[in-house]
Amino acid sequence: MSQKPRNPYKRPDAFTKAAKAQGYPARSIFKLEEIDRRVRLLRPGQRVLDLGAAPGSWSMYAAQRIGAGGKLLAVDLSPITTALGPTATVVQGDALSLTNEALAQLAPYDVVLSDMAPATSGSKIADQARSYELFMRAVAVAEALLAPGGAFVGKIFMSEDFVKAREALRKLFEEVRSIRPEGTRANSVELFLIGLRKKAPGAGDTK
């Protein structure tokens, strides 16, 4: 009788336990925390759009960093039940079908975050293609709603589309970095592309 393969995500690891101990619903908090520390992403008073926000760890962290003077819009297809505080607004919906008008209620944003990922299908190629689609939707939202000088963070599954994704950011931002945070599971193919200092309209591609 063959055994079912073990699910590497079922057992809580040290990051999961630490997140729960600190009151966050998911271990993903430590990925954003590391990115924030390395690129100085979030500051008091900013306006932040968080795409793919459920269960709410990134939004919780962002809300704390931007403080009472900031504003946060958290968006996800799933309900977000985590308490995010009075500066946050929650929208439930599919980021691929929501119009920019639905996302623009707090625009222009200083930071656009996207931790969006596809529900894995078992097909590596299909999952990578879906991840790229979600990433590029987040980039399009950032292009439309991010203020000049603003920053973008987007998750993407590593694939042959990575180069195209990076080039799309280079057209919009003065600096582009890729970061695989320490909190990423060893068997994960995800990494994050970061765009810093969005170019002003008409600035052209300087890369």
The Cα–Cα gap between 78 and 107 comes to: 22
- 69 appears as a binding residue in the annotation: no
Is 205 annotated as ligand-binding? Answer: no
Decide: 183 and 27 in contact? Cβ < 8 Å: yes
56 labeled part of a ligand binding site = yes
Show which residues are catalytic.
155
Distance of alpha carbon 193 from the chain centroid: 9
- Is residue 115 marked as binding? yes
Short-list 87, 91, 53, 82, CA closest to 70: 87
Contact 193, 134 (CB under 8 A): no
Question: Which residues does the annotation place in the binding site for S-adenosyl-L-methionine?
Answer: 56, 58, 76, 94, 115
Question: Which residues does the annotation place in the binding site?
Answer: 56, 58, 76, 94, 115
